[in-house]
């Protein structure tokens, strides 16, 4: 096994910022540094990992708010999400005000990702799946070898992402989950954007929104 992961809940919205690293080379990435950058830096130091990139699943401020500060601090690039989220990644400062929060910064200078792209660090490869519905430019990071996915706000243990935000769409989200995620396999353990981890198989069996029994009836 080469992929390791640790989850750090950040911001008042308890967003799961994830550090992934290769235990053979100690090279790693930070996914969704939504805020609380000092906490993230502390975790990086504790693990002793050499962070090469910051990755973003989608544009919501609780997932991207700390990206600019962390990128500056570590001198690393910001990669993702899909370009269809540009209307959100550039409005972080305005969006957080609606929640009476501050400190997050608009994302600039990032590289966009698309379906089929891959991210490499050390001996680990992450595959990119484009999963619109919660936001139009939402992507999922998936590691085949370890059967692990970071799915952001697409899917939760016992739930699915909200679709009442601008350009959210429920049928599109259901389609992303059943047509893009389920085919990756029941054994995949996923880290959602908020809350505990689960597996695709467990959600197919029990999820009240996208379980097999629900969507077949
Ligand atoms: Zn979101
Ligand atoms: Zn979120």
Query: Span 93-99, mean pLDDT?
Result: 94
Using the mean position of ligand 1's atoms as its centre, give its distance from the Cα of residue 32 in Å: 11
Tens digit of pLDDT for each residue in 99-113?
A: 999 999 999 999 999
pTM of the model as a whole: 0.97
Q: How many other CB atoms are found less than 10 A from the CB of residue 76?
A: 16
What spacing in Å lies between the alpha carbon of 62 and ligand 2's midpoint? 6
State the distance from the centre of ligand 1 to the C-alpha of 47, rounded, in angstroms.
27
CB atoms under 10 Å from CB of 94, counted, come to 10
Structure confidence at residue 215 (pLDDT): 77
- Rounded Cα distance between 15 and 37, Å, is 13
Q: What ligand has the least distance to the C-alpha of 16? A: 2
> Ligand 1 centre and the CA of 180: distance in Å?
18
Q: How far is the CA of 153 from the centre of ligand 1 (A)?
A: 5
Which CATH homologous superfamily contains domain 3-216? Ribonuclease Z/Hydroxyacylglutathione hydrolase-like (3.60.15.10)
Q: Which bound ligand lies closest to the C-alpha atom of 12?
A: 2
| pLDDT 10s digits, 124-167 | 999 999 999 999 999 999 999 999 999 999 999 999 999 999 99
How deeply is 78 buried, as exposed, middle or buried, from its count of CB atoms within 10 A (0-12, 13-18, 19+)? buried
Q: Distance from the CA of 95 to the center of ligand 1, in angstroms?
A: 12
Q: Using a CB cutoff of 8 Å and minimum separation of 24, what contacts does 87-91 make?
A: 87/59, 87/166, 87/167, 88/58, 88/59, 88/60, 88/135, 88/137, 88/166, 89/56, 89/59, 89/64
pLDDT at 217: 53
Please give the pLDDT value at position 71: 98
CA of 44 to the centre of ligand 1 (A): 24
Position 1 scores a pLDDT of 62
**Residues 160-190: tens digit of each pLDDT:** 999 999 999 999 999 999 999 999 999 999 9
Q: Is 166 helix (H, G, I), strand (E, B) or coil?
A: coil
Mean confidence (pLDDT) of the chain = 96
Q: Compute the distance from residue 144 Cα to the ligand 1 centre, in Å.
A: 24
Which ligand has the nearest atom to the CA of 156? Answer: 2
For residue 58, the CA-to-ligand 2 centroid distance in Å is: 9
């Amino acid at each position: 096994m080469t992929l390791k992961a640790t989850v750090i809940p950040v911001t008042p919205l308890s967003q799961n910022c994830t550090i992934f690293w290769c235990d053979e080379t100690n090279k790693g990435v930070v996914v969704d540094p939504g805020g609380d950058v000092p906490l993230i830096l502390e975790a990086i130091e504790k693990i002793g990992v050499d962070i090469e990139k910051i990755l973003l699943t989608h544009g919501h401020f609780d997932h991207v708010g700390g990206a600019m500060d962390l990128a500056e601090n570590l001198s690393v690039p910001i990669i993702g999400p899909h370009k269809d989220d540009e209307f959100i990644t550039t409005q972080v400062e305005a969006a957080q005000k609606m929640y009476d929060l501050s400190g997050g910064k608009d994302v600039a200078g990032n590289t966009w990702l698309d379906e089929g792209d891959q991210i490499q660090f050390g001996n680990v490869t992450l595959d990119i799946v484009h999963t619109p519905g919660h936001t139009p430019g939402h992507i999922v990071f998936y590691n085949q070898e370890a059967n692990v996915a970071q799915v952001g706000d697409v899917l939760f243990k016992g739930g699915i992402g909200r679709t009442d935000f601008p350009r959210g769409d429920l049928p599109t989200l259901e389609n992303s989950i059943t047509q893009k995620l389920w085919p990756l396999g029941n054994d995949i353990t996923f880290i959602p954007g908020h809350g505990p981890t689960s597996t695709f198989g467990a959600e197919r069996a029990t999820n009240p929104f996208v379980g097999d029994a629900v969507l077949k009836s």
